[in-house]
Structure 1
Amino acid sequence: MEIAENAALVVVDVQKGFEEAGFWGPRNNPAADDNIAALIDVWQSTGRPVVFVRHDSPKPQSPLRPGYAGNDLKEYVAERRGKGAGAELFLTKTVNSAFLGTPDLGAWLTAEGIGQVVVIGIQTNMCVETTARMGGNLGYDVVVPYDATYTFDLEGPFGWRRSAEEVAQASAVSLHGGGFARVVTTEEVVGAAG
């Protein structure tokens, strides 16, 4: 695997509100936070650009709503902001895709000459997947380290209910099998970027 010298790490919605298990339910990938931290550290130590994304939910009951403590980035992410040698962008969004946030992610990537993005964060099947899909559609080389993402159990139509792991695996299969992104491991990315 090749990770470009200027590949952008897009850290999606790693926010305190996702710790509220009573709201979200059971999750998968218990090591995801450690893997997210490790990837940020590698990016910052090698001077690569990092994009920090925060979801400002318009839903009044959401743990991610502005003005509520859950809207804040998790401590380990917040303390890493501004610490890297490379370019850094902070953007907010109210929908799933980081490409539809403020400031404009696509315009920033173009201005920086970036063609490869590595997408990590929360939730695998929601904002991570939507950002990765849009990135693929826009022509970026998208990499998703699966174990640096996580999600929660989910109920869909017809009373269908899937565990967090089943939902995350389905998301990974769609991204990888559909050609939107290469789904890999954190270890593979760290090895290629370090």
Structure 2
Amino acid sequence: MPAASLTSLVAQVRQCQLCQHALPHGVNPVIQIDPLARILIAGQAPGLAVHKSGIPFDDKSGDRLRDWLGIDKDTLYDPKQIAILPMGFCYPGKGKNGDLAPMKMCAQTWRQPLLNHLTDVKLTLLIGKYAQDYHLPNRQQTLTETVKDWRNLPSGIIALPHPSPRNNIWLAKNPWFAEDLLPVIKSTVQNILHA
């Protein structure tokens, strides 16, 4: 599809009001997309800090994510290199144990039309269970099992836990993630970006 079609689609996303009634802080879709992107970050949903700034991963999670990928802010925020499409584009609000789940209507309405424009993606990073469930619908594993089974995932897909500071306990319990998988992720990202 021509770039104008993507421009129109993104404009529709930015004007979306489908979930406004259920969002305590209102709508503010936060995405980053360009048809030239070679890496797709499929996250969960923006947190409150990102909702306020309108910049994806503009928080502590983003600091850790950049470290995991071995990239700087300029690279992360270059849409011609990296697309960022969470499962929900707006902050869903806070629940008892952290942020609420992404609004399902968002992915049902917008995800596939946007993904259709990403024809040059070489690596998809699935951050968290909601992204894993969407992109790997037939897997019957926990998040930890899916991340640990990275060698057996479809080519071009790597599953990650959420880089939130809330996951420090998970990271401490799973040292293989930093020892075995992070070097592979950094190397893969660098190879794609510098191809």
Query: Normalising to structure 1: TM-score of the pair?
Result: 0.40
Greater share of strand: 1
